[in-house]
Structure 1
Amino acid sequence: MTGVFHAFTSAKKMARAGRRTLRLMVARPSVQGASPTHATRITLRTEPSMQTREDKMSILDVDVCGTPQQIDEIVSDALRSVRSLLGMQVAFVSEFRDGARIFRHVDADADFSVIQVGAWDPLDASYCQRVVDGRLPPLMRDACQEPAALALPVTTELPVGAHLSVPIRFRDGRVYGTFCCFSTFADASLTERDLGTLRLFADFVAKLLERKSNETTRENIIRERVRAVLDGRHYRIVYQPIFNLEPNALVGYEALTRFSLEPVRTPDAWFCEADEVGLDEELELAAIRAALAVVARLPTTVYLSLNVSPNTILKGSLASALNGHPLERLMLEVTEHASINDYERVAATLAPLRQQGLRLAVDDAGAGFASFRHILQLKPDVIKLDYSLIHGIDRDGDRRALAAAVIRFAEATGSKVVAEGVETEGELQALRELNVNKVQGYLLGRPAPYPGDA
């Protein structure tokens, strides 16, 4: 049996032991490319029943850790579980939409292919609508013995024997559709307790589908917002200078993206949202292409540093975006905040570009453990010390010690160090004493449009 079935079976045992509020965890292996596992936390309440010897159980809350695809898998588990438990040939979840009943999830015997996922029929000709509005009972041991069911041709054509169906309702009262089980043969053994089991599963599925619906709505809003940024070019590039301390000279710029569309938020938030809806590569490459517009105007001794995520590196379009530009004057920065699942692929993808002179930097070193993994695995040309490490370094011995360790590592491995986020003379002096020669920060220059740009 599936994890969902075991969860509810365990809940019944705990209810008999006297527990009234139960919290269960259902874990499943992940789909390919997703996180290793995902889990669903289920909170149930049991109440003593006056009619039966077994407690009545209801779903209080469902907390899903997973993608919409993973939610679909859990719903499929629930269908499979309840169909097996009740001994039915078919179980399905239908959605009511625009006058149609659409079969969203189906679990059936191998030799039963009448109902397929995505198929639909008129809602007003279905059992489902009649169960919701009360014209048909939710439990029929033999639909052929129910006059209202016999009025529908499908009852004798299929035929329909045992049939259980309950509405799937969201918290606001909306009916999503129905959770239904049926067989072509009658089953006189079905009881109200079986119907109660179906209602429990339907309640569980309702909370899953409501979460999925809300998440889909949220993703659509995000997608429209990011698409508006891309289509309307509601972004601009600003450049923060990078200086050599000895001698005091401008050696580079870091290109940073600023967004002008509401709602106002940090650039990181825009890029994170783009990643959520699969527009991360398009947005990053748009920003990179816009930033590259100044390369021809840069002094020949000045390089341009571009931020890029591992996903964009792996998707393959980065090389074409950089094509035609002097790679020996460009540097890519991979942030600490971006996770990398396959360092070998990232390194192999970048290798031809690095052989042509492109430099690689690991950004935000010192901000977290991931940056050190990036450094060890990618062997960057430049290590950028994070603001969190630089801020107050002149007054904090621990920060100074950690920075010194990274600097010694860079010296031993042939990497250069750039300190970012330098805001005070004290921080600058501390970095001089640590033999850091390249710095950037508000003390030296704020991000701004390139001279001559609007």
Structure 2
Amino acid sequence: MTHHATFRIASTHTAARVPIIDEILSTVRRHLDMPLAYLAVFDSGDVVYRAVSTDRRAPYFEAGDRRPAKGSYCLAVRDGRLPQMLADTRMNPVAMSLPATVMLPVGAYVAVPLLMADGTAYGVFCCMSHDPMPNLSERDLAIVTNFAQLLADAIGSGVKADQDGRDMRQQIEDVIIDRDFTLLLQPIVALHSNAVVGAEALCRFRPTPYRNPDTWFADARKIGMQRELERAVILKTLDRLEDLPRALTLSINVSPDMMIHGNLPAMIDGPNSDRIVLELTEHNYFDSMTDLQTQIKHLRRMGAKIAVDDLSAAHSSLSTVLQIKPDFVKLDSELVRGIHMDPASQALTAGIVHFAKAINADVIAEGVERVQEAESLHKLGVKFGQGYFLGRPGGMNALQARMYQI
């Protein structure tokens, strides 16, 4: 996968969320009788001062200030070019070469890297004195080290979470830019004739290790990118519509958030909009039913049809269907599995079929994997089905070949 450079400001505010940090900095600074203590983290070639404690006798820097890491005490200590404690900076050529030694000035310091569980240094806990302090001892270093470990334990998991979030964002950005996913088409079949009447577009993401689509969209939701990822998948799916045989509809999975806020009418506008079926997923999770209904009316005026995915007997699910009044309701595969041997599932399905007729909707059964299931569903009044028995997901050629298997 191509890695694309993007302008990103890393989330380095983790430390600010932990009130104990200011107390630790002040306690250690006063114990060492030094005028300055700070916690700094590394971010994209910079040092960001997340917390600062001073004796107010001189202006230093403030929490939130960002400086280049190059030439800093933090980087020199992290990289091992400076020791973690120096009682007199005049005795060390590296210390004397750093601008801060003269500018602050720095006569002595104790600085301990903050380590993540894997040993990576993500920051430095540092105390500084303007003057040399010949009485600094290993005991002082041990105290700072212990408090540094306390800080690491307090914020280390948050820093890792921030880094994981940045990595996740970069990966999703790359997938969107590269369109690094493939689309499979699964036939939707009329159970009475075995004829293909449509296809559902199923997304498969290419990056390794393989993760299922639900995981990708859940990750995108965590970092506020679900809409962008959905838009990329929908646009690529719409590219396939012109290649699809004219007699077939194309079903596209859409979240309520995308339905309400994603400007779908502009995306599907065109001569083939009447061949599009928008399958509403996660239909129990949305902000406003009124907004959802408004968008659905707009989409229907363009000829698009609406389906509700994975219908169950749950009150919230049925309530949503009553308010949306979709063109199709899709039976959950859990209800379909083994239905020919389960009178209870048959009774529930018959009830859903009756319910669908009352709202002028047709029923599509998902997960049909046996001929007996297909026959049972047909007898119960289910018009359409999809599943491995009726046709596996595949490319356009596989779909066209399935159309002739009647």
TM-score, normalisation: structure 2: 0.70
Q: 1:353 aligns with which of 272, 294, 299?
A: 299
Q: Deviations over 1:208-228 (max 9, x none)?
A: 434543554455455445644
**Are the aligned partners of 1:83 and 1:90 in contact in 2 as well (CA < 8 Å)?**
no
Q: Does 1:451 align with 2:374?
A: no
Q: Secondary structure at the match of 1:451?
A: helix
Q: Deviations over 1:276-331 (max 9, x none)?
A: 67351343223321232146x423xx543322233433443422221113444432
Using the alignment, how far apart are the partners of 1:137 and 1:431 within structure 2? 73
Code of the aligned partner of 1:196: N
RMSD (CA atoms) = 4.6
Q: 2:159 aligns with which of 178, 203, 209?
A: 209
**Are the aligned partners of 2:113 and 2:148 in contact in 1 as well (CA < 8 Å)?**
no
Code of the aligned partner of 1:114: F
For the structure 1 residues 126 and 447, does the alpha-carbon distance in structure 2 shift closer, same or farther, using more than 3 Å as the test? closer
- Structure 1 residue 415: Cα displacement: 3.1
Using the alignment, how far apart are the partners of 1:226 and 1:274 within structure 2? 14
**Are the aligned partners of 1:361 and 1:380 in contact in 2 as well (CA < 8 Å)?**
yes
- Structure 1 residue 95: Cα displacement: 1.8
Using the alignment, how far apart are the partners of 1:128 and 1:263 within structure 2? 34
Q: Does 1:254 align with 2:199?
A: yes
**Are the aligned partners of 2:49 and 2:66 in contact in 1 as well (CA < 8 Å)?**
no
- Structure 1 residue 90: Cα displacement: 6.0
Q: Does 1:199 align with 2:149?
A: yes
**Are the aligned partners of 1:329 and 1:358 in contact in 2 as well (CA < 8 Å)?**
yes
Matches within 5 A, 1:281-430: 281-294=230-243, 297-299=245-247, 302-336=248-282, 339-366=285-312, 371-372=317-318, 374-376=320-322, 378-430=324-376
- Structure 1 residue 117: Cα displacement: 4.1
Q: Partner residue of 2:3?
A: none
Q: Deviations over 1:172-214 (max 9, x none)?
A: 43433313366989999x9665652233103443444345435
**Are the aligned partners of 1:319 and 1:353 in contact in 2 as well (CA < 8 Å)?**
yes
Using the alignment, how far apart are the partners of 1:452 and 1:437 within structure 2? 22
Matches within 5 A, 1:47-446: 72-78=12-18, 80-87=19-26, 91-95=38-42, 102-108=46-52, 114-115=61-62, 117=64, 119-121=66-68, 123-126=70-73, 129-130=76-77, 133=80, 135=82, 138=85, 147=90, 151=96, 154=100, 157-158=103-104, 165-180=111-126, 193=143, 196-214=146-164, 216-217=166-167, 220-221=170-171, 223-224=173-174, 227-230=177-180, 235-243=182-190, 245=192, 248=193, 250=195, 252-257=197-202, 259=204, 261=206, 263=208, 265=210, 268=213, 272=217, 275=220, 278=225, 279-294=228-243, 297-299=245-247, 302-336=248-282, 339-366=285-312, 371-372=317-318, 374-376=320-322, 378-446=324-392
For the structure 1 residues 158 and 378, does the alpha-carbon distance in structure 2 shift closer, same or farther, using more than 3 Å as the test? farther
Q: Secondary structure at the match of 2:112?
A: strand
**Are the aligned partners of 2:205 and 2:213 in contact in 1 as well (CA < 8 Å)?**
no
**Are the aligned partners of 1:394 and 1:400 in contact in 2 as well (CA < 8 Å)?**
yes
Code of the aligned partner of 1:424: R
Using the alignment, how far apart are the partners of 2:267 and 2:91 within structure 1? 66
Question: Identity of paired residues, percent?
Answer: 23
* Greater relative contact order (Cα < 8 A, sep 6+): 2
How many residues are treated as equivalent by the alignment? 370
Code of the aligned partner of 2:376: A
- Structure 1 residue 371: Cα displacement: 4.6
Using the alignment, how far apart are the partners of 1:335 and 1:411 within structure 2? 21
- Structure 1 residue 421: Cα displacement: 2.6
Using the alignment, how far apart are the partners of 1:264 and 1:199 within structure 2? 34
Gaps in structure 2 of 5+ consecutive residues: 1-7, 30-35
Using the alignment, how far apart are the partners of 1:398 and 1:336 within structure 2? 25
Using the alignment, how far apart are the partners of 1:381 and 1:185 within structure 2? 79
Using the alignment, how far apart are the partners of 2:179 and 2:106 within structure 1? 53
Using the alignment, how far apart are the partners of 1:265 and 1:130 within structure 2? 40
- Structure 1 residue 392: Cα displacement: 0.6
- Structure 1 residue 262: Cα displacement: 6.1
Gaps in structure 1 of 5+ consecutive residues: 1-67
For the structure 1 residues 186 and 376, does the alpha-carbon distance in structure 2 shift closer, same or farther, using more than 3 Å as the test? farther
**Are the aligned partners of 1:95 and 1:176 in contact in 2 as well (CA < 8 Å)?**
yes
Using the alignment, how far apart are the partners of 1:135 and 1:260 within structure 2? 46
- Structure 1 residue 361: Cα displacement: 0.6
- Structure 1 residue 253: Cα displacement: 0.3
Q: Secondary structure at the match of 2:341?
A: coil
Using the alignment, how far apart are the partners of 2:78 and 2:276 within structure 1? 66
Code of the aligned partner of 1:365: L
